[in-house]
Amino acid sequence: MVDKIGLLNKVGLTDAEAKVYLTLLKNGGATGYEASKFSAVPRSKIYNVLESLVMKGFILYSEQENTNRYAAVPVEEIAERVKHETDVTLTELEGQLKDYRAQTDMDEFWHIREYENVFAKCRSILKRTESELLLQIWEEDLPGLLPQIQELEEKGIRTGIVYFGEKGEDEIALRHVCRHGMLEEKRKEMGGRFLTLVSDNQEVVFGQIISDAVSEVIWTKSKPMVAMAAECVRHDIYFYKSAGMFQEQMQEELGEDFHKVREIF
- Specify whether the CB–CB gap between 133 and 230 falls below 8 A: no
Q: Read off the amino acid at residue 128.
A: R
Per-run averaged pLDDT (10 residues), the chain, 265 residues: 85 94 92 94 95 93 87 92 90 83 68 90 95 95 94 95 82 84 77 92 92 85 94 87 65 61 57
Q: How far apart are CA 84 and CA 189, in angstroms?
A: 46
Q: How far apart are CA 225 and CA 82, in angstroms?
A: 41
How many other C-beta atoms can be found within 10 angstroms of the C-beta atom of residue 31? 16
pLDDT of residue 245: 62
Q: How far apart are CA 34 and CA 23, in angstroms?
A: 10
pLDDT of residue 180: 81
Angle (nearest 5°) at CA 166 between 149 and 151: 10
pLDDT of residue 222: 92
pLDDT of residue 176: 83
